Structure 1
Amino acid sequence: MKHKHAEPLYIKINSIDNVAIVVNNEGLPAGTVFSDGLTLIEHVPQGHKVALHDILQGQPIIRYGEVIGYAMIDIKQGSWINEAVTKMPTAPQLHELPIATNVPEPLEPLDGYTFEGYRNADGSVGTRNLLGITMSVNCVSGVVEHVAKLIERDLLPKYQNVDGVVALTHLYGCGVAIDAPAAIVPIRSIHNLAKNPNFGGEIMVISLGCEKFQPERLLKGTADTIPIKLESVDDIVTLQDEHGFKAMVDHIMRVAERHLIRLNGRQRETVPASELVVGMQCGGSDAFSGVTSNPSVGFASDLLVRCGATVMFSEVTEVRDGIHLLTPRAANQDVGQALIREMQWYDDYLAAGKVDRSANTTPGNKKGGLNNIVEKAMGSIAKSGRSAIVEVLSPGQRPTKRGLIFAATPASDFVCGAQQVVSGITVQVFTTGRGTPYGLAMVPVIKMSSRNIVAEQWFDLIDISAGDIAIGQATIDDIGWRLFKLILAVASGKKPWSDHWGLHNPLAIFNPAPVT
């Protein structure tokens, strides 16, 4: 279905911006005249930038009130501003950043909102009741995935209160530099993955037997984790101790059924919204993401924080160019320094690979109107809302506070998703401007589109659209409230489209350590 607006529209974000983005679905041709008299001198695709004034070579290109690039040539008013005429600015210097200089005042508390969740013995609350099967090494993934299918087919029908079984597969465990300093990331991550509240504390581990990452080390974790105590030594199944494949399967099935019996005794109960841990992520972004969907997510983030909940935003490379806007919001000096530490760590990580943050932007991002990572970052940080940042997590860590938290992760959808699950999210909100069937088996994923045309095209994949904001038929507050209420519904058991279809991407645990 083609959609055309009756009049040409553009969106200007900040009063000092010298560019705006075209709203109309099919873009606008040369000669188009806007209501304020601006005339296009060439075709400008939807979501792409048009020069509101003449911009001379070397002058800044400003969007969101921030410099997103410099003109490589003289650009005339009404021209299309794309990657070919834009030079990317340098990233903010980390040692010059203001810290905790503009800490937001606490927002007014929001009481009375609840969801139906599963209380756990450790005090956490899950939104799903899942059996998670942990593994110490990738070698056993084939067996674990095989048995997970058998459990789903043969055992789950007997345990109606259990939502599913998840094989927590990964690519770690052997052939790795297990004692390298950076190995703390995958070790901590796999340890904390088993503790996600949606698994109810029912932990079983499948081992091969000869791997470097022994089950005992998985359970112990790292210096900043709490060791896992198993109910029984039988909760570790070592395949090299078994006599044949059938014995392996039978042993895992027996252990799994013992856990399923306990999980089946759990019931949803009404709990305050403060028990939620929600991850905010974006992928397949476009120029509308920072105008419609991400600001709506930011508004919902503030509502959750007002309820006393925990909200995580992530994606280091999509924060790096906006870090000067975030460090002033740090609750204190320690939080601000932690933000800088994570930015520096990732700068060094990319430099070791002989790339920089500019490698982040995808062909789809650019086709959607995002010229570079600077522009993308300005829209990405809108997911953080207006609250103070109370804590910063290194990759794989779990929060110790409630409120708005920056959880440092790569920007890759699948790695970021996995690392947020590791850090304990129980619901994820994923915004997209281009469309993606992304989903996670461990936590429900709500997908929000930045444009209505994406939601209409993918009517049975996108859960909510923020597109009405772009055409003036809704406000950010409207969509933010709608998203907030959808989060509560999904936390209470409502299935988003990815769960309806069973679209679940594999886990991609972050491993920056050497592989030997």
Structure 2
Amino acid sequence: MECNVDNTTIITDEKVTHIRLTNKDNVAIAVNALEAGIELEPGLMTLEPIPQGHKIALWDLKRGEGVIRYGVLLGNLSKDIKKGGWINEHMIDLPASPELDTLEFATEINNNLPNPPVDYWDGYEVEGCEYAGTRNILGISTTVQCVEGVLNVAVTKMKKELLPKYPNVDDIVALVHPYGCGVAINARDAFIPIRSVKNLVKNPNFGGEIMVVALGCEKLTVEMLLEEKDINSENVVILQEQKGFQSMIDRLMDVAETKLQKLNERKRVRLPLSKLCIGMQCGGSDAFSGVTANPSAGYASDLLVKGGATVLFSEVTEVRDGVRQIAQRCVSEEVGKKLIQEMAWYDNYLALGDVDRDANPTPGNKKGGLANIVEKAMGSIAKSGTSPIIDVIGPGEIPAKKGLIFAATPGSDIVCGPSHLASGITLQVFMTGRGTPYGLAAAPVIKVCSRSVMKEQWMDLIDVNAGQVATGEKSIEDVGLELFYFIIDVASGRKKPWAEEYGLHNYLCIFNPAPIT
């Protein structure tokens, strides 16, 4: 059986026991766990048990010889491997990182994208904002972590006493984070967390309504967070100016109700896809992520981009080894130079911690068949589809262009997510192979799994099953189209993904490379 995956070919036998991605590959991966002595194809038999997703040598390989998957070098073998043998992460030496000064730009620009079946959705317009909201939320921002305890008590009270009075408002979300004080606020890289916290306030899902809670003595002042015109008693509550705890709660309740009254007047309207901004992220990845879930998301991304939407994909360490492929899709040298700048900054950031990009893969990634960061990167970039990359932005930066954008965030799920929110996404698509209950309170998160067994195990946490691609039951295009329709339905408020249904969400871990004092 053959089917197209991100311009490569899945080659399997009739029983779909193993997957070989390109005819350059000298390894395949096991679709399910294989026992020793299983004939995979004429002349190829497993010499030992092979775990699901792990690599099988397609012919005899010598020590020092390269292991090829996705048509690229994953690394060199540290020992001889016989045909049909198991190749795991302990047997592959990491190759050198791709050089940044030899990259070529705009050499692989694909303008022949698939046409979306619909080019509209129903969302909440925001005055003066390029993008519209998928949800109608009262977002309460904070300048510093110190106010979290009081704000959490207030929000619990708001949800019980105020929210039921305003049925058109979806939720009240406290944007609490660990930044704001005890930090070197004027350090060289402090602009990164400051920009992220500042831009979180502007997320379209908050409808342009501003509510900020400050302590009063923190380093991240209200003046650093808001424009001068927005700093007033209608938008800002400073706890140190209140007379006791109850006064704090009463004041927060009063300001919140004023905001809720305004938000309750908002209605969904029919909008073009150009008003939609979403994020693509993956976590708990495995060897199937780059075969099923991520390419399916990439196809959905291409549909969205062709329709005029903006799609962010990210995770520097998880694309660093695919930087050549990304550079070739950058529409200009100007965009390419931004890519180099972000990659070089992150290389230096990792070097300061005395680690390299291979510190990224987790034990779960490796148990799922990913040998190293090179293999993980090849699968990760598949979620970007094939669209031209029209811009590169830093973590928490708001896009100035529409289309496919590389947002240079860390790979950590709980850091990438808040960075996407700060950049203005109003919905996120999250691919996983091993499974994670990750979610965002400020935007719905759609979960796509890479294996059918994951869907069977987490039937009420996974929204879209891409595992059927591996077994030949569906194509990349089938799952991608299913995901596209689900994105439109979720964005339009007609459906909720499981994470939103259960109220699953993670703490906003703002990326802060600056010193903590």
Same fold (TM over 0.5): yes
**Local SS of the residue matching 1:206:** strand
- How many Å apart are 1:103 and its aligned residue? 2.4
Q: State how many pairs are aligned.
A: 503
**Local SS of the residue matching 2:278:** strand
Residue in 1 aligned with 2:299?
299
Amino acid at match of 1:163: D
Residue in 1 aligned with 2:249?
249
**Local SS of the residue matching 2:507:** coil
Amino acid at match of 2:503: G
Q: Counterparts of 1:394-409 in structure 2 under 5 Å?
A: 394-409=394-409
Residue in 1 aligned with 2:29?
21
Residue in 2 aligned with 1:10?
18
- How many Å apart are 1:64 and its aligned residue? 0.3
CA contact (8 A) 2:114 2:303 kept: no
2:37 equivalent to 1:36: no
Q: Alpha-carbon deviations, 1:125-175, whole Å to 9, x = none?
A: 000000000111111011111111111111000000000000000111111
Q: Distance in 1 between matches of 2:344 and 2:237?
A: 41
Amino acid at match of 1:301: S
- How many Å apart are 1:233 and its aligned residue? 3.1
**Local SS of the residue matching 2:455:** helix
CA contact (8 A) 2:285 2:433 kept: yes
Amino acid at match of 2:418: A
Residue in 2 aligned with 1:512?
513
Amino acid at match of 1:23: V
Residue in 2 aligned with 1:183?
190
Match of 2:122 among 108, 113, 116: 116
Q: Alpha-carbon deviations, 1:284-306, whole Å to 9, x = none?
A: 00000000000000100100000
Q: Distance in 2 between matches of 1:386 and 1:217?
A: 39
Q: Distance in 2 between matches of 1:6 and 1:344?
A: 45
- How many Å apart are 1:275 and its aligned residue? 1.3
Q: Structure 2: give runs of 5+ residues left out of the alignment.
A: 1-12
Q: Counterparts of 1:387-426 in structure 2 under 5 Å?
A: 387-426=387-426
Counterparts in 2 of 1:111 and 1:296: CA distance versus 1, 3 Å: closer
CA contact (8 A) 2:183 2:516 kept: yes
CA contact (8 A) 2:16 2:471 kept: no
- How many Å apart are 1:7 and its aligned residue? 4.0
Q: TM-score, normalised by structure 1?
A: 0.96
**Local SS of the residue matching 2:45:** coil
Q: Alpha-carbon deviations, 1:288-336, whole Å to 9, x = none?
A: 0000000000100100000000000000000100001110110000111
Residue in 2 aligned with 1:445?
445
Amino acid at match of 1:16: K
CA contact (8 A) 1:8 1:28 kept: no
Residue in 1 aligned with 2:169?
162
Q: Distance in 2 between matches of 1:325 and 1:339?
A: 12
Residue in 1 aligned with 2:109?
103
Q: Counterparts of 1:110-259 in structure 2 under 5 Å?
A: 110=116, 112-123=118-129, 124-219=131-226, 227=227, 229-230=229-230, 232-259=232-259
Q: Distance in 1 between matches of 2:392 and 2:215?
A: 35
**Local SS of the residue matching 1:448:** strand
Counterparts in 2 of 1:275 and 1:106: CA distance versus 1, 3 Å: farther
Q: Distance in 2 between matches of 1:376 and 1:112?
A: 33
CA contact (8 A) 1:273 1:488 kept: no
Q: Alpha-carbon deviations, 1:185-237, whole Å to 9, x = none?
A: 01110000000000001011111111111101111xxxxxxx47428433111
With 39-48 and 28-37 compared, the bigger mean Cα shift is at 28-37
CA contact (8 A) 2:222 2:231 kept: no
- How many Å apart are 1:457 and its aligned residue? 0.7
Amino acid at match of 2:479: I
Counterparts in 2 of 1:431 and 1:359: CA distance versus 1, 3 Å: same
Q: Distance in 1 between matches of 2:114 and 2:460?
A: 36
CA contact (8 A) 2:144 2:179 kept: yes
Residue in 1 aligned with 2:459?
459
Q: Distance in 2 between matches of 1:371 and 1:248?
A: 53
2:55 equivalent to 1:49: yes
Amino acid at match of 2:19: I
Q: Distance in 2 between matches of 1:253 and 1:431?
A: 38
- How many Å apart are 1:120 and its aligned residue? 0.6
Q: TM-score, normalised by structure 2?
A: 0.95
Counterparts in 2 of 1:262 and 1:59: CA distance versus 1, 3 Å: same
Residue in 2 aligned with 1:474?
474
Q: Distance in 1 between matches of 2:305 and 2:187?
A: 37
Q: Distance in 2 between matches of 1:450 and 1:46?
A: 12
Q: Alpha-carbon deviations, 1:397-427, whole Å to 9, x = none?
A: 0001111000010000000011001100011
With 181-190 and 104-113 compared, the bigger mean Cα shift is at 104-113
Q: Alpha-carbon deviations, 1:357-400, whole Å to 9, x = none?
A: 11101000000000001100000000111111001011110001
Q: Counterparts of 1:481-496 in structure 2 under 5 Å?
A: 481-493=481-493, 494-496=495-497
With 136-145 and 253-262 compared, the bigger mean Cα shift is at 136-145
Amino acid at match of 1:126: G
Match of 2:90 among 78, 84, 87: 84
Q: Distance in 1 between matches of 2:329 and 2:261?
A: 46
Q: Distance in 2 between matches of 1:110 and 1:28?
A: 39
CA contact (8 A) 1:418 1:508 kept: yes
With 30-39 and 373-382 compared, the bigger mean Cα shift is at 30-39
- How many Å apart are 1:88 and its aligned residue? 1.0
Give the % identical residues: 56
Residue in 2 aligned with 1:59?
65
Residue in 2 aligned with 1:224?
none
CA contact (8 A) 2:398 2:424 kept: yes
Q: Distance in 2 between matches of 1:126 and 1:279?
A: 14
